[in-house]
Structure formats: structure tokens, C-alpha cells
Structure 1
């Protein structure tokens, strides 16, 4: 059974894709497009790190509560 890999294209395929992008957006729009993509990636990474920190805080709080309950039941 063959494994299908997304975005697994090199050489001529990449040239065709780059040429299509150039035709669709034009030479002047490509830097603006790349800035927009970069901004989107930065926003995504910021949201991801914020979510990770919130999850870690929630897990730490749950562990503290569990330790308190365990301590109170042992006393």
C-alpha cells in the first residue's frame, strides 16, 4: 500500500506551482501575500503558546487541588 504525502513535490512540479502563483498574483502582490502569510503564522503561534500556558496552569491547579484533597483525607 502506498503512502500519500501531502506537499511532496519537487523540481518541475514546484516550478509549475511557483509560475501559477506568479501569474495569479503578479510580481507586485507576492511580497504583500508573503507578509500576510507571515502575520497569520505569527498570530497562530501566539494563540498556540497562550493556549498551552493556560492548559498548563489549569493542570497545575488541578494537581494542587488533588494534593490538598489527598492531604486532608490523610490527616
Structure 2
């Protein structure tokens, strides 16, 4: 039997948390809360990408070689693809 586990929280625990959220905020407020959380996560992601871009730009302007990180990332991706090809449709079940 496969059971979805998200951050060590099982299905019934997630349902209980959702029940409490509905009881505290009401069903009509949940879309607004979700929209606000999504907007906040997007702003955080955009800020993180901007910081990464500024660091890379600064490194390149100071003559640091940033291609090493790209090469490592490419090699990691190749290994991931090879593992996926080797395992095929086999999935781990807990």
C-alpha cells in the first residue's frame, strides 16, 4: 500500500490541519490566503533569482570563472538521466 508522505506528515494529519484552517478562517477566506501565499512565494523566488544573477554578474566582472559551476551542474544532470534510464519504471515504495 502506497501512502503519500509530505514532510513527514501523513494524509490524515494533513486533513486535520486543513479542517482546522477551515474552522479558523472560514471557507470563503481560504482562496485569499492561498493567493497571498502564492504571491509571497513568487516574490521570494524572484528575489532569490535576482540575487543569484547579481552574484554571477559580479563574479564575471571580477574575472572569476563561473563555467565550473555550470560544468558540475551539467555532469550531475547527466548522472541523473543515466540513473533514470537504468532504473526505468521501477519506483520505490515505502
Report TM bin, short chain: 0.7 to 0.9
Runs of 4+ in 1 over 4 A off after TM superposition: none
Q: How does 1:34-73 map to 2 (within 5 A)?
A: 34-63=34-63
- RCO higher in structure (CA 8 A, sep ≥6): 2
Greater percentage in helix: 1
Counterpart secondary structure, 1:63: coil
Gaps of 5+ in 1: 1-5, 65-75
Root-mean-square deviation (Å): 1.6
Gaps of 5+ in 2: 1-5, 65-94
Post-superposition CA distance 1:2-60 (Å, at most 9, x none): xxxx8311122111111011111100000000000000011011101110100000000
Name which one, 1 or 2, has greater alpha-carbon Rg. Answer: 1
TM-score, normalised to structure 2's length?
0.58
